[in-house]
Amino acid sequence: MTSGSAAHRAAHPGMFSMVSRAFTAACETLGISAQVAPPFTPTAEGIVERDFGSINSLFCQHLPGHTGSDVARRGRDIERETCYTVAQLQDLLDEWLAHWHHRPHEGLRHPVLPRAALTPNPMWAALAAVAGYVTVALTGSDYLELLPVRWQAITERGILLHHRTYDHDLLGPCRGQDSDVAARGRKWEVRTIVAFDNPIPTSELDQYLKEFEELVMGSGLVESFAARHHIRAQGDDHAPVAIASAILQLRLADLDALNATFTMPGAVDLIKRWQGRYPYKAIWVNHDPLA
């Protein structure tokens, strides 16, 4: 769910067969009731199965290296065909979905125009006009709560996650210590953040950090500010996720001061100006002092 999207307290009538911990936690946080489908019963989740069928027949089968659902549907010498990376495949799928949402579907019919097959977008608009919805902006705490969770030990070197070690001075009191959660092997709850961003020249990054510091410290809302560049390590170029260019830490007195930072004068202009030069994504993690 993205900022400004409709927050629904009830999902589309149906059942789910593949439920991850992150999905379950998100449903619990947002007050969504999810009903798990019985195993080996595709008819219980017909809408999802139909989507999978469309993706397979209209998208996957046209990709090089497609293996098909069985040997009878498999091409010759597919091992020699070019294969896409996950990132490239995601870009292709996103582009395909943009066209798919404007493709008429025989099963999408409006009671007033029963003979016209609608595309997903107009059908959604028609249903939303009847059922209605309330746009609810997620708070910083909501975003933090919805992040995937892993339970990790905090060693003298920090936290080892996906073959990388993350460390900070604030982890000091927890190094080598057990948490109070016995059910998780006395490990600590760690919420991970991923951001897809293009690198920018060091001089430009320093200028951005300087302007950002001047903005927040001049607002009177922030008690202290610190920023550090990401330190390159072996394997970064082969990482399955993007790595942040810099980490920014702001210390504020209370929640009111935190909320006020999102509307402080000059923030929108600074963001638009730098986004126009070097598009980036910023992820905020709001929390009480770790130590």
- Tell me the per-residue pLDDT of 37-71, one tens digit each, with 9 for 90 and over: 777 777 777 777 888 888 888 898 888 878 877 77
In a domain? residue 96: yes
Looking at the predicted structure, is the pLDDT value of residue 103 above 50?
yes
Mean pLDDT, residues 278-286: 69
> Tokens 């990054």, residue?
205
In a domain? residue 13: no
In a domain? residue 77: yes
pLDDT of residue 238: 58
Distances (CA, A) of 58 to 48, 54, 96, 100: 15, 6, 9, 9
pLDDT of residue 183: 78
**Residue span of the structural domain in which 74 resides:** 21-131
217 close to 233: Cβ distance less than 8 angstroms: no
Task: Classify residue 98 as exposed, middle or buried by CB count within 10 Å of its CB (0-12, 13-18, 19+).
Answer: exposed
Given pLDDT bands bounded at 50, 70 and 90, which one contains residue 289? low
- 10-24, 45-59, 163-177: which has the minimum mean pLDDT? 10-24
Share of the chain above pLDDT 90, in %: 1
Domain count, the chain: 3
In a domain? residue 207: yes
Of 83, 124, 125, 120, the C-alpha closest to 105 is 120
pLDDT of residue 134: 73
Q: How far from the centroid of its chain's Cα atoms is residue 171's Cα? A: 25
Same domain, 173 and 218: no
Same domain, 170 and 104: no
Looking at the predicted structure, is the pLDDT value of residue 109 above 80?
yes
In tens, the pLDDT along 114-129 reads: 888 888 888 888 888 8
Per-residue buried b or exposed e for 155-164, using 16+ beta carbons within 10 Å of the residue's own CB: eeebbeeeee
Share of the chain above pLDDT 70, in %: 79
pLDDT of residue 193: 44
State how far the Cα of 155 lies from the Cα of 137, in Å rounded to an integer: 37
pLDDT of residue 46: 78
In tens, the pLDDT along 219-267 reads: 888 888 777 776 666 666 655 445 667 777 778 777 777 778 778 888 8
Please name the amino acid found at residue 108. Answer: L
Please name the amino acid found at residue 268. Answer: V
State how far the Cα of 279 lies from the Cα of 225, in Å rounded to an integer: 23
Strands, DSSP E only, in the chain?
Answer: 109-110, 113-117, 149-152, 159-161, 164-166, 188-191, 222-229, 246-252
In a domain? residue 236: yes
Residues forming beta bridges with residue 16, ordered by sequence position: 36
Mean pLDDT across the chain: 75
Same domain, 51 and 28: yes
Same domain, 89 and 180: no
State how far the Cα of 213 lies from the Cα of 265, in Å rounded to an integer: 14
In a domain? residue 1: no
Is the overall model pTM greater than 0.85, yes or no?
Answer: no
In tens, the pLDDT along 82-96 reads: 778 888 888 899 999
Mean pLDDT, residues 181-192: 70
Given pLDDT bands bounded at 50, 70 and 90, which one contains residue 7? very low
Same domain, 111 and 173: no
144 close to 155: Cβ distance less than 8 angstroms: no
Distances (CA, A) of 44 to 5, 9, 15, 39, 40: 28, 21, 6, 9, 9
Same domain, 85 and 114: yes
> First CA to last CA across the chain, in angstroms?
31
3-state secondary structure of 156: coil
In a domain? residue 262: yes
Q: Looking at 191, 212, 240, which one is the last position of a domain?
A: 191
Compare 113 and 19 and report the one with higher pLDDT: 113
Q: Sign of torsion, CA 53 57 59 63?
A: positive
pLDDT of residue 236: 60
pLDDT of residue 252: 76
Given pLDDT bands bounded at 50, 70 and 90, which one contains residue 286? low
State how far the Cα of 37 lies from the Cα of 35, in Å rounded to an integer: 6
pLDDT of residue 13: 46
Compare 130 and 81 and report the one with higher pLDDT: 130
140 close to 157: Cβ distance less than 8 angstroms: no
Same domain, 174 and 213: no
Per-residue buried b or exposed e for 106-136, using 16+ beta carbons within 10 Å of the residue's own CB: eebeeeeeeeeebeeebbeebeeeeeeeeee
In a domain? residue 3: no
pLDDT of residue 2: 34
